[in-house]
Amino acid sequence: MNQDEISARLIVLETFAMMALGLYLANSRNDPDYSRSSALVEQLRQASVANAASAGPSVQTAAKQYADHLASILGENIRGLRGEGGQSH
């Protein structure tokens, strides 16, 4: 992993960590169609990309790719925790 990838991952992880409590508190049992959960995951992804905007182009690209990856896993985990398919990571 090169320095840009490490920087990108730190940016994204910081964003996810800051918003994790918000996601945890958004009780998915009261969100039968996942609309609130999906919106929150999308906000996480967008905030991660926005936080990387001041970095170089390669960091921005790596941050976007990593944010997309983590958002996908998070979506799967939400469904998995509710026992509705998906595989928890």
- Whether 87 is covered by a domain: the verdict is no
Average pLDDT of the segment spanning 2-29: 76
> Does position 83 have pLDDT exceeding 70, yes or no?
no
To the question of pTM greater than 0.75 for the whole model, the response is no
**Residue 89 in domain:** no
Domain extent at residue 21: 3-81
Contact status, residue 29 vs residue 36, Cβ threshold 8 Å: no
Look at the chain and report how many structural domains it folds into: 1
Between the alpha carbon of residue 6 and those of residues 18, 67, 75, 80, 84, the distances in Å are 18, 13, 23, 29, 34
The reply to whether 72 falls in a domain is yes
Q: Determine, yes or no, domain membership for 29.
A: yes
pLDDT-based confidence at 27, cuts 50/70/90?
Answer: low
Asked, for residue 10, whether it belongs to a domain, the answer is: yes
74 inside domain: yes
| 36 in any annotated domain | yes
